[in-house]
Structure 1
Amino acid sequence: MSDFPILGAALNLNSFETHRELMLEKPRDLELQDFWSPNVLNGNWMPLVERARTLLDGHKGRLGIHGPFIGLSMAEPDPDVRDVVKKRLRQGLEICEALGATQMVVHSPDSAWSYYNLDLYDNGRERHMETCHLTMKDAVRQAEDIGCELVLENIEDMDPSSRLKMAESFGSEAVKVSLDTGHAHYVHGVNGAPPVDYFVKAAGNNLRHVHLQDADGYADRHWTLGEGTINWRAVFAALGKLTSNPRLIIEIRDHAGLPTSIANMSALGLAQ
């Protein structure tokens, strides 16, 4: 990975239009976040795709989307509910194909509860893995067919290696790992999970996507980078040892903080 990597951003189309000059000045990777809502997925999303194509003219970075996640588990045990999850994944990947997006973020099914409780049950972890395969296997094949990557993002994951094992279990280049720095910092601060850089090290070169957000180790803040307590030097030192070239995506709640986030990382000599 470059010693001075280029930062991308997670934006909706309105925010991309606002920050278009910044996003086009370098080949910044982009994650569009207009396509996760059930209302969008069940509606006519082609006008959004067409608007994106127009706004993205001249964009040189890699393109992805945040996939559907509201109320969805990637290891859904109820077969009727699982059909809904599979439908949402299919819809998200159809949008990726229409956009030419090569990556879709989906949420890990692991939780603090599963970390502490799955081993109470005979074959609890094996059954958890099995339901993940039942939920995602069709989407994995679809992603393979269209040349798109599904990346599993940590949400409440306590074990940095668990999601990696899940991704590897599919035996497919279409399933890799994502890291959200604020989520990792939250479970570190609240539940005693390892610090953020340990999550980078555990994922290794299966790490293909990173949500960069700052936080205080208490909640999912999505603050401008530099406003929280994440040890960015340790995080970027770990990232610097990778050869997988993960997309480094600033994902903050107030998109107005995008230029400041980039400036703060630049001032630390970590990224541009």
Structure 2
Amino acid sequence: MTQLKIGACLKIAEIGTYRDWLFDTGRDIELQDFMSHAALTTDLEDMIVAARSALAGYAGRIGIHGPYEGLDIDNKDAELRPLITARFLTALQAADRIGARQMVLHSPYTLWYQNNIFSSPDYATSKLGRIHDILGPVVRAAESMGITLVIENIHDVRPETRRAMVDSFGSKAIALSIDTGHAQLARAMSGAPPVEDFVRDAGQQLAHVHLQDVDGHADRHWAPGRGQIEWTAVFRALADCDNAPHLVLELRDKAEIPKGFAWLQALGLAV
């Protein structure tokens, strides 16, 4: 099986701990400092300076996790939608200034949506219209910057629903992200397909993957090998992706990054 190079999600202050591992082979880095209100307002300039300093000399691929708390991309309040768009645009500008070429945003699709999709004739189209209202300007800005928005599964049950939403923009500046732990939780809690099937459904739209393991009960963000995920099947599907998605360990305990990497490496899955 093809062995895949993986990186990690880190805060700016944590990069130094894994600098040699990340920098020597240009492993993917996702910065997770640009999610909060403070990071995108009062602390923004300091964050950008710190990120540039921490990344000096790095030649690999960079992404950031965009903001999400209280920022539903399907917000039904027309007065709030422009505020959400503005926050995403600020994060996108921050990404551009530090050299990131991806920004992760959260999917708005849920089991509630899937079970109610036929409850009213315009349920799906109304939702998609609100999503375009919020994300349309962000997608256009991303196109001009050469950045790709990657939409991460959160409560998604059917992977094809999120894929169709991404396809509806008709833009190379928006693609799919898969969080392996979220997909496994959806399988355990809501009967979603296996994680491998999320990957195969995404196909050439897959641009980014959060690698984390779970027990099927909560969003643990454990190192691979501690939970339920069938990692060999997942990596077999990832190896078939021709567009080389960013692959990053997203672990709650950053001290477990070496352990998670070593476990995948021992299985012959990662380098």
**CA–CA separation in structure 1 for the residues paired with 2:191 and 2:97:** 42
Letter in 2 for 1:31: E
* 1:183-217 CA distance string (max 9 Å, x none): 00001001111110000011001000000001112
The 10-residue stretch of structure 1 (23-32 or 195-204) with the greater mean CA deviation from structure 2: 23-32
CA deviation map 1:105-126 (0-9, x unaligned) = 0000101111111321112111
TM-score, normalised via structure 1 length:
0.97
1:58 Cα shift? 2.2
| More divergent stretch after superposition (252-261 vs 80-89) | 80-89
- The answer (yes or no) to whether the contact 2:175–2:205 under 8 Å persists in 1 is yes
Tell me the residue number matched to 1:107: 106
In structure 2, the partner of 1:59 is 58
Greater CA drift, 117-126 or 25-34 = 117-126
Write out per-residue CA displacement over residues 149-208 of structure 1, whole angstroms, 9 at most, x where no aligned residue.
Answer: 000000000101111110110010001000000000001001111110000011001000
Q: Which moved more, 1:136-145 or 1:111-120?
A: 111-120
1:79-112 CA distances to partner (integer Å, 9 max, x unpaired)?
1121221111111111012111100000001011
Question: Within 1, Cα distance between the matches of 2:196 and 2:28?
Answer: 22
The alignment's TM-score, normalised by the length of structure 2, stands at: 0.98
Q: What do the CA deviations read for 1:9-33 (whole angstroms, capped 9, x no partner)? A: 1100121122112211211010000
Q: Which amino acid aligns with 1:150?
A: L
Kindly indicate whether the alpha-carbon contact (under 8 Å) linking 1:6 and 1:27 is maintained by their aligned counterparts in 2: no
Distance in 2 separating the partners of 1:115 and 1:72: 21
Q: Secondary structure at the match of 2:129?
A: helix
Q: Quick one: distance in 1 between partners of 2:223 and 2:240?
A: 25
**Structure 1 residues without counterparts, runs of 5 or longer:** none
Residue 35 of structure 1 aligns to which amino acid in structure 2?
Answer: F
The AA in structure 1 aligned to 2:149 is: L
Residue matched to 1:49: 48
Please tell me the root mean square deviation across aligned C-alpha atoms, in Å. 1.1
Does structure 2 retain, via aligned residues, the 8 Å contact 1:189–1:217? yes
Secondary structure at the aligned position of 1:39 is classed as coil
- Deviation, 1:47, is 1.8
CA distance in 1, matches of 2:55, 2:71: 30
Counterpart in the other structure of 1:148: 147
Counterpart code for 1:149: T
Say whether the 8 Å CA contact 2:39–2:47 is kept in structure 1: no
Which has the higher mean CA deviation after the structures are superposed, 148-157 or 112-121?
112-121
Distance 2:167 2:95 in 1: 22
Gap runs ≥5 in structure 2 = none
Give the superposition deviation at 1:62: 0.3
> Which structure 1 residue ranges, 4+ long, deviate > 2 Å from structure 2?
none
SS of aligned partner of 2:30: strand
Residue 124 of structure 1 corresponds to 123
Measured in 2, the distance between the counterparts of 1:170 and 1:178 equals 16
CA–CA distance in structure 2, aligned partners of residues 126 and 132 of structure 1: 10
What is the CA–CA distance in structure 2 between the aligned matches of 1:81 and 1:50, rounded to whole Å?
A: 30
Deviations 1:20-64 (CA, angstroms, capped at 9, x unpaired): 122112110100000000111121412221122122122221001
- Is 1:259 aligned to residue 258 of structure 2? yes
| Alpha-carbon separation, structure 1, partners of 2:142 and 2:199 | 24
Map residues 147-226 of structure 1 onto 2, 5 A cutoff: 147-226=146-225
Contact 1:30/1:249, CA 8 A, preserved across alignment: yes
Aligned to 2:248: 249
Which amino acid letter does the alignment assign opposite residue 33 of structure 1? Q
